[in-house]
Amino acid sequence: MRKGVLRPGHVQLRVLNIEEAIKHYVDLLGLIEMDRDEQGRVYLKAWTEVDKFSVVLREADEPGMDFMAFKVIDDAALVQLEEDLIDFGVSVDHVPANELKDCGRRIQFTSPSGHRFELYAEKKYTGKWGIGDVNPEAWPRGLKGMKALRFDHFLCYGPELPATYDLFVNVLGFYLAEQVLDPDGNRIAQFLTLSMKEHDIAFIQNEESGKLHHASFLLETWEDILRAADLISMTDTSLDIGPTRHGLTHGKTIYFFDPSGNRNEVFSGGDYSYPDHKPVTWTADELGKAIFYHDRVLNERFLTVTT
Ligand code: FE2
């Protein structure tokens, strides 16, 4: 059921060295630097995004994710969602407008999986970078590196998948697009969406809470994924796996690490979903194929390295 939550809005990532991180996210991924603040945080966006920023980099002693935000349709929805979150039993904190530059007030909460999320209704509208909204050209000149189109989704590792499902589906209005079930029928992976995308966020069962597996960015074509692989080699960037295809979502993908050890994905294509579709189910005995459709074998690093 629709609750007014629209889409992923932004993520704040911790990085060990801000200049190295900017080189990675701007020169390699192709994000655009939009602003900085007095805390030294750097605000980035991908060129097709209409709001001012989607990735915030913060220098810290440990890598990982501070929080991920979803944009909601208006302030009335934000007020209602806050009530619903409190009724559900999570405590809600308020962050005033402009704590992140040009972003409206945010409400923050922690999911049963141990991740920090936030909701907001307002952010400065800057339009698609370099082409605008009137008679727009196909793409802007001057894009760098992988030319990422948008910040797409997040994959989280943590415990309490059933309670996290309840929160995201029944309180926030997501629906289940894909899942992995163990032999007892327990869900060990849940891919949740607000849209036609196979996931706006996904959770994998994990004992340790609040871990980031990867932040993912959309590219246009398979050819772009191969070109991303070339750029990863050219820049001696740490490769995780790929280029390959997922069984889950059927997206074409490559994984690599930022200089702080946060895992990134760039992907293209994949399936679509509507709320009336039955969830796609993979069984745990086919997990290798579900994750890496070609190799059909899991790589230990992919399962265990998180930030
Ligand atoms: Fe992904």
- How many angstroms separate the CA atoms of 218 and 234, rounded? 21
- Cα separation values, 53 from 49, 94, 149, 151, 277, Å: 8, 20, 13, 10, 32
Retrieve residue 145's tokens: 């590196």
Calculate how far, in angstroms, residue 141's C-alpha sits from the geometric centre of ligand 1.
Answer: 27
pLDDT of residue 299: 85
Banded pLDDT at 142 (limits 50, 70, 90):
very high
**In which band, very low, low, confident or very high, does the pLDDT at 302 lie, cut at 50, 70 and 90?**
confident
Q: What are the structure tokens assigned to 177, written together?
A: 């697009």
What confidence score (pLDDT) does residue 304 get? 86
* Model confidence pLDDT, tens digit, residues 84-101: 999 999 999 999 999 999
The percentage of the chain sitting over the pLDDT mark of 90, rounded to a whole number, equals 93
- The DSSP-derived string for 191-239 is EEESSSSS-SEEEEE-SSSSEEEEEEEE-S-HHHHHHHHHHHHHTTPPE
The band of 2, judged by pLDDT with boundaries at 50, 70 and 90, is confident
What is the Cα–Cα distance from 212 to 222, expressed in whole angstroms?
A: 25
197-225: per-residue pLDDT in tens?
A: 999 999 999 999 999 999 999 999 999 99
- How far, in Å, from the CA of 279 to the mean position of ligand 1? 17
Q: Is the pTM of this model over 0.75?
A: yes
Q: What is the pLDDT of residues 41-75, one digit of tens each?
A: 999 999 999 999 999 999 999 999 999 999 999 99
Confidence bin at 1 (pLDDT 50/70/90): low
Ligand 1 midpoint to CA 242 (Å): 12
115 is catalytic: no
Cis peptide before 63 (omega within 30 of 0): no
CA of 218 to the centre of ligand 1 (A): 10
Using alpha carbons, list the distances in angstroms from residue 28 to 23, 43, 60, 109, 117. 7, 16, 21, 32, 27
| Secondary element (H or E) of residue 5 | strand 5-15
Can you give the pLDDT at residue 157? 96
Does 83 qualify as catalytic in the annotation? Answer: no
pLDDT, tens digit (0-9, with 9 covering 90-100), for 97-135: 999 999 999 999 999 999 999 999 999 999 999 998 899
Does 265 participate in catalysis according to the annotation?
yes
